[in-house]
């Protein structure tokens, strides 16, 4: 059995230096006599409470996300962000992510319930390994035959690993985290958003507290 099974990961690449100070400074553009005021907690809390979201566009954050080709399109749907994703047209891929299954919710087609017995979960995970081994061998053989990477990749399953860089304003991150950590998001995507929320809190603690995080 090929051992290329990987896990999802989320990590900070870059955030605007002194991001909260920059946001507070720009928010006081109409109050130049007080623009250098180092106190920002009250101001940023007020902006959150009053819904003055545009000021949070004055700083950015870039996060690296390692996930699968099945989850990546859900993330890429957030068009206020700028993305760079690993190109399977340019580089050879050789890893996948093995997911645990859940039962289909018959009342909500976009929901699943984590109550399957261990035997079914094991079967599903072993099936992913088997599918990957078969598809990856065919993928490698296609490359050996001179088939272009952009064509050979069609042989790979949706749990093939991908990596992307997600760059957005703090306003965009607030919206993304609120939406994707909430009900209605696929669990695998929700976990990624939860890790993004942790990074947000670590680097933007004043704004996070104002948001109730």
pLDDT score at 173? 98
* Residue 80 pLDDT exceeds 80: yes
Map out the domains of the chain as residue ranges.
5-210
Domain 5-210 class?
A: alpha beta
Of 69, 153, 171, 180, which is the active-site residue? 180
Among this protein's residues, is 138 annotated catalytic?
no
pLDDT in tens, 115-152: 999 999 999 999 999 999 999 999 999 999 999 999 99
pLDDT band at 3 (very low <50, low <70, confident <90, very high): low
DSSP per residue over 150-198, as a string?
HHHGGGS-TTBEEEEEEEEEHHHHHHHHHHHTSTTS-HHHHHHHHHHHH
pLDDT tens for 59-78 read 999 999 999 999 999 999 99
Sheet arrangement for strand 9-15: 9-15, 60-68, 161-169, 82-85
Percent over 70 (pLDDT), the chain: 98
Tokens 């603690």 appear where?
A: 205
Q: What pLDDT is attached to residue 1?
A: 42
């Amino acid at each position: 059995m090929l051992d290329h099974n990987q896990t999802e990961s989320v990590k900070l690449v870059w955030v605007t230096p002194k991001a909260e100070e920059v946001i507070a400074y720009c928010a006081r553009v109409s109050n130049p006599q007080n623009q250098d005021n180092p106190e920002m907690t009250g101001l940023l809390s007020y902006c959150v409470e009053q819904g003055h979201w545009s000021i949070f566009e004055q700083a950015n954050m870039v996060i690296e996300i390692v996930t699968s080709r099945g989850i990546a399109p859900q993330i890429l749907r957030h068009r206020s962000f700028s993305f760079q994703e690993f190109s399977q047209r340019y580089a050879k891929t050789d890893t996948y992510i093995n997911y645990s299954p859940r039962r289909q919710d018959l009342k909500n087609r976009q929901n699943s319930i984590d109550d399957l017995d261990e035997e079914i979960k094991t079967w599903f995970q072993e099936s992913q390994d088997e599918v990957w081994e078969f598809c990856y061998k065919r993928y490698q053989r296609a490359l050996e035959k001179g088939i272009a990477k952009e064509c050979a990749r069609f042989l790979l399953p949706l749990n093939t690993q991908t990596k992307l860089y997600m760059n957005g304003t703090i306003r965009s991150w607030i919206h993304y985290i609120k939406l994707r950590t909430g009900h209605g998001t696929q669990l695998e995507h929700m976990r990624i958003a939860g890790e993004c929320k942790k990074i947000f809190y670590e680097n933007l603690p004043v704004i996070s507290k104002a948001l109730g995080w």
